[in-house]
A and B are shown apart, each in its own frame.
Chain A
Amino acid sequence: MKLSRRNFLQWASLSAMGAVACDIFREGEMNIQSPVDLPEDLVTGQDNWYSTLCPQCPEREGMIVRVMEGRAKKVQGNPLYPTNRGKQSVRCEGGLQALYHPDRLSKPLLRIGSRQSANFREIGWDEASSRLVARLSGLRDAGNANAMLMVTEPVRGHLGLVVDRFVGGYGGRRIAFEAMDQTVLRSALKGVYGQDTLPDFDIENSGYLISFGADFLSTWVSPVRYSRGYGEFRGHENGKKRGTHIHVGSRYSMTAANADEWVPITPGKEGILALSIAYVIISEGLAPQDVIRAMTGGAGAAALDQFRPDRVVSRIGMPESIRGEQATDIIVRIAREFAEGGGGLGLAIGGGETGAHTNGLFNLSAVYALNYLVGSVGRRPGQGGVVFNPPPPIDGLPAPSPAGSLADWSRVADELNDGQIEVLMVQGPNPVHALPTSVGFQESLGASGAFVVSFSSFMDDTTQMADLILPQRDPLEEWGDDVPQPGPGYEIVGMQQPVVNPLSDLDPRSFPDLLLTMSQELGLDDGLPNTFKDLLRQGAQRLFELNRGSVEGATFEAFWNKMLQQGGWWDVDRVSTASPPSPPNLAELARGDIEPSFQAPTGDNLFYFIPFLSNSLLDGRGSHLPWLQAAPDPLSSVTWQTWIEINSQQAKEMGWKEGDVVRVVSTEANMSALVYPHPAVPRGLVGIPVGQGHAPGVEYQSRDGSRRGSNPMSILAPETDRETGALAWAATRVLVVPTGDNQRVSKFEGIVPAFPFGTKEEDIVQVTKG
């Protein structure tokens, strides 16, 4: 059809009429819709940020929590808090999930049936507390109050005071538990520096750092504080020279991966290398003469002759050469650079696996003694080196109770068997999971007739063996305070306040309030107020009366509010007045047996075995939180599973590939894990993360009624540090036996293999040996 003007106009008007007739313009255009459900992004109200303390790690960082409409939404580091200064760990952020966890226990539970059956029924709080009080008063009336044992973490601040007074007033006993405890570290620091509290390591203001074993950038002692300091240590701000970091240790940890140089040695030989470094400094006169005299008893380098670099190289299993440099030259160079301080001050720190051997105390004492040679002991904050912490500003706060040693726990297991413990109260730790099988704690508890009470919000390995479970408030719903260990080098009290109320279908109670109430019901004279909040306010009143520090307020109420707002109180001018004691005599330190010993099964494929704390789950306390389960390990990027790190070359020789299921066999027990070959793991050594392998109880830490992953703590041999009796968790050797199964490793890392770059000469695989 020819398109004429007439045709065009006809078609155009027809189309227009059709459009109008068919109502095409009305569809939606002139309507506005109310959806049935409220869109999630349309939230009303304003957010509030409250400061409090993070409960996830022992270091207890200061944090701020974003709260909207009564719900906690986000956790961040508190920028004012002196230790972490606005930084936070993945564990802090993940801790939020505990608040709204579907498996959180809502009411007190009473066991029905046998201890192994884990069957419970819900009871009311009145019944629960009257049952417990009746038990306790019955025990006391029978003159047997000593048969009550309270197990907590090494609690600090006013919570420590409440627990102390309750247990003391009742006449019972208490013991603290830490999975990988700091007993050896504390003993070493006490012996070498004369300090009861952990000192602050001022990494940011030091120039040259040697870390022995301590994975301080991931999980060791106060990792957020150290990581923040490390960031400044490595930076160039204010014309500062970039600090140099040497890591000595047997396992390729996150800290080793970040160091300028990693010196891999045989496990347990760190102390010998430290003394070899001391030998070089002393023999070359790089330290002040009076210090050298004090540390060698006047004998000079001759006192340490057995630690001459060329004599220790093969003894400590150091590679003959690394990147073309002879091992002896490396020791001499590190010693010279350390003494020179890299443009600042030298600092040596040690811990982790270094202290977890049968010679752990020797290792750590030797490491910390190095700081005397370079004058970094007892410095003021901001000057680098080791900064002593002052005592807490509030009198009467008990020092953190030291964690019980392996021997203590064996005794507890025996007493449970013998019926010497009749009431066992557990708050915080999970000893059934974290104690080696060889202690026999689980069996003793299972067979024991004791009345076991667990103050826990979740079903864990210990809780599900309890007779009575009293759900606690989440730390975000709870009052508290803390004197950080280690502190920032000056006086500090951190404050924890409830930022949200428990959800309406939950009925948890505050642990300290329960103790205070029970104290009254039992008629104990603890001299404390009725609620924990009142006790904290009493403590704050004393800080107010000091009339100094970071919090100003004309009245106590103003002071209290400001203190909660800031997240605590601190006074940067109140530093430790303790002067360093006279340095230890290195020759005496090296007297006796300084070699590590291991317990090893017989067979081929024998490996050194280094369990390490998971970066996200820690000792397993985060394993019920899916965010933390899904947070990849910084080195392997593995999530949700238990893997075994093994040298990739060695795995190839054995014919093992990634995902092969192997059994790891010690003299005590065995466990399974998935092979994860890695080129930087030294030959003859395997590492397995701690944190998985829980008894079924919470969905995310077990699946299909079975355990998720395995627990390396369970297979440890009962080796202890010779001096302190603490568990030497790196002193077990294991056999690795393939099972023939293979599972896919759930990791973030791509499938393209990663190669260490550099020439063949520099290849890190080539330089390591067992």
Chain B
Amino acid sequence: MLIKPSLKMLPLAFGGLIGAVVTVMVLVYVLTAWWSTPIFGFSSGGPDQPIAFSHSVHVQDNGIQCEFCHRNVSKGSAATVPSVEQCLFCHTTITGEDNAEIAKLLAHAGLDPSGVADPAVSAEPIDWVRVHRLPDHTQFVHEAHIQFFSQGGGVDQAVAKAREFGLPLSQPPEETELVEATCTICHGEVRAMEKVKQGRTLKMGDCVDCHRDNNAPTDCTTCHY
């Protein structure tokens, strides 16, 4: 049946057009987000955390190495976030009378802002908002990557990255310096971040590109096992 065009149909056609444009835009966003960097909304400042932990104060100002807190990063698959107990290595001395964020941290250990046990406060784990996350079907082992860039064939890239971000670099580079440079390859210049945000998309294309560039295996089972 043929429908004759009429002015009455104009709102319908306009609606359809808007619908089509929105659908295409959503599709484009979803597809770009799926395959690579989403076209907007990615470069935000990172999520708010329960405690406003500043990497720049700890790493840039006080020179703490990545591995000191992320202890498992060169030993196992997960980098791990430090326990509250580990924060207290320093924060029983650097207490929270003048700093509300440190006071929050001490409260998680069951302490009052001056670092004294407070029976009214129970020790609770800190639930950080996750910034970097890979899908469940993808396995990623930090240790192998750290080793490649700090000791193996990727040392030159780590050195280049260190120069790019102006990281401290001895001559010849020390292993701990190369480890930090290695972290920046995927995580960006975390040492200068007030709030952690994602440095790379960590999409499959991203992984595969890097694996190809470094002659690393690209078999499915390398990551999907």
Task: Given the known inter-chain contacts A34-B83, A34-B84, A36-B124, please indicate yes or no for A42 contacting B129, CB distance below 8 A.
Answer: no
Task: Given the known inter-chain contacts A32-B81, A44-B68, A44-B71, please indicate yes or no for A38 contacting B86, CB distance below 8 A.
Answer: yes
Compute how far the CA of A28 lies from the CA of B64 in the bound complex, rounded to whole angstroms.
28
**CB-CB < 8 A to B13: which residues of A?**
none
Compute how far the CA of A274 lies from the CA of B130 in the bound complex, rounded to whole angstroms.
80
Task: Given the known inter-chain contacts A37-B85, A38-B86, please indicate yes or no for A32 contacting B128, CB distance below 8 A.
Answer: yes
Q: Judge if B213 is at the interface, Cβ distance under 8 Å.
A: no
Task: Given the known inter-chain contacts A33-B126, A34-B83, please indicate yes or no for A42 contacting B71, CB distance below 8 A.
Answer: yes
**CB-CB < 8 A to A38: which residues of B?**
83, 85-86
Does A35 contact B128, Cβ atoms closer than 8 Å?
no
Q: Judge if A31 is at the interface, Cβ distance under 8 Å.
A: yes
**How does the 8 Å CB contact mask read for B115-151 relative to A, with 1 for contact and 0 for none?**
0000000011111111001000000000000000000
Compute how far the CA of A33 lies from the CA of B80 in the bound complex, rounded to whole angstroms.
9
Interface size on B, residues (CB 8 A): 24
From the candidates B67, B110, B125, B129, name the one contacting A35 in the complex (CB within 8 A). B125
Chain A binding surface, main DSSP class: loop
- Which residues of B in the span 156-174 have a Cβ within 8 Å of any Cβ on A? none
**CB-CB < 8 A to A30: which residues of B?**
129-130, 133
Compute how far the CA of A32 lies from the CA of B69 in the bound complex, rounded to whole angstroms.
14
**CB-CB < 8 A to B85: which residues of A?**
36-38
- Count of inter-chain pairs, beta carbons less than 8 A: 54
Q: Judge if A396 is at the interface, Cβ distance under 8 Å.
A: no
**CB-CB < 8 A to B68: which residues of A?**
44
Compute how far the CA of A36 lies from the CA of B124 in the bound complex, rounded to whole angstroms.
6
Min CB gap A480→B, angstroms:
35
Interface size on A, residues (CB 8 A): 14
**CB-CB < 8 A to A39: which residues of B?**
83
Does B125 contact A36, Cβ atoms closer than 8 Å?
yes
Min CB gap B174→A, angstroms:
14
From the candidates A29, A36, A42, A43, name the one contacting B80 in the complex (CB within 8 A). A42
Does A36 contact B128, Cβ atoms closer than 8 Å?
no
**CB-CB < 8 A to B128: which residues of A?**
31-34
Does B84 contact A35, Cβ atoms closer than 8 Å?
yes
Does B71 contact A36, Cβ atoms closer than 8 Å?
no
Q: Judge if B72 is at the interface, Cβ distance under 8 Å.
A: yes
Chain B binding surface, main DSSP class: loop
Task: Given the known inter-chain contacts A42-B71, A42-B80, A44-B68, please indicate yes or no for A36 contacting B133, CB distance below 8 A.
Answer: no
Q: Closest A-chain residue to B131, C-beta based?
A: A32
Does B125 contact A32, Cβ atoms closer than 8 Å?
no
Q: Closest B-chain residue to A44, C-beta based?
A: B71
Does A33 contact B86, Cβ atoms closer than 8 Å?
no
**CB-CB < 8 A to A44: which residues of B?**
67-68, 71
Compute how far the CA of A32 lies from the CA of B51 in the bound complex, rounded to whole angstroms.
13
Compute how far the CA of A29 lies from the CA of B130 in the bound complex, rounded to whole angstroms.
8
**CB-CB < 8 A to A42: which residues of B?**
71-72, 80, 83
From the candidates B81, B83, B129, name the one contacting A36 in the complex (CB within 8 A). B83
**How does the 8 Å CB contact mask read for A693-734 relative to B, with 1 for contact and 0 for none?**
000000000000000000000000000000000000000000
Compute how far the CA of A35 lies from the CA of B130 in the bound complex, rounded to whole angstroms.
15
From the candidates B67, B84, B123, B129, name the one contacting A31 in the complex (CB within 8 A). B129
**CB-CB < 8 A to B190: which residues of A?**
none
Compute how far the CA of A30 lies from the CA of B47 in the bound complex, rounded to whole angstroms.
11
Task: Given the known inter-chain contacts A42-B72, A42-B80, please indicate yes or no for A36 contacting B109, CB distance below 8 A.
Answer: yes
Compute how far the CA of A42 lies from the CA of B84 in the bound complex, rounded to whole angstroms.
13
**CB-CB < 8 A to B187: which residues of A?**
none
**CB-CB < 8 A to A34: which residues of B?**
81-84, 87, 108, 125-126, 128
Does A32 contact B130, Cβ atoms closer than 8 Å?
yes
Does A31 contact B71, Cβ atoms closer than 8 Å?
no
- Which residues of A in the span 11-32 have a Cβ within 8 Å of any Cβ on B? 29-32
Compute how far the CA of A39 lies from the CA of B71 in the bound complex, rounded to whole angstroms.
11
Does B82 contact A31, Cβ atoms closer than 8 Å?
no
From the candidates A29, A33, A43, name the one contacting B81 in the complex (CB within 8 A). A33
Does B130 contact A37, Cβ atoms closer than 8 Å?
no
**How does the 8 Å CB contact mask read for B49-87 relative to A, with 1 for contact and 0 for none?**
000000000000000000110011000000011111111
**How does the 8 Å CB contact mask read for A50-78 relative to B, with 1 for contact and 0 for none?**
00000000000000000000000000000
- Which residues of B in the span 84-127 have a Cβ within 8 Å of any Cβ on A? 84-87, 108-110, 123-127
Compute how far the CA of A42 lies from the CA of B129 in the bound complex, rounded to whole angstroms.
22
Compute how far the CA of A31 lies from the CA of B86 in the bound complex, rounded to whole angstroms.
19
Ranked nearest first, the 6 interchain pairs of A and B with the lowest CB-CB distance are A34-B126, A38-B85, A38-B83, A36-B123, A31-B127, A32-B130
Task: Sample 26 A-B pairs with CB under 8 A, ordered by A number.
Answer: A29-B130, A30-B133, A31-B128, A31-B129, A32-B127, A32-B129, A33-B81, A33-B125, A33-B127, A34-B81, A34-B82, A34-B108, A34-B126, A34-B128, A35-B83, A36-B83, A36-B84, A36-B108, A36-B124, A36-B125, A38-B83, A42-B71, A42-B80, A42-B83, A44-B67, A44-B68
Besides A31-B128, A34-B125, A36-B108, 10 more A-B contacts (Cβ < 8 Å) are A31-B127, A32-B129, A32-B130, A33-B81, A33-B126, A35-B125, A36-B84, A38-B86, A42-B71, A42-B72
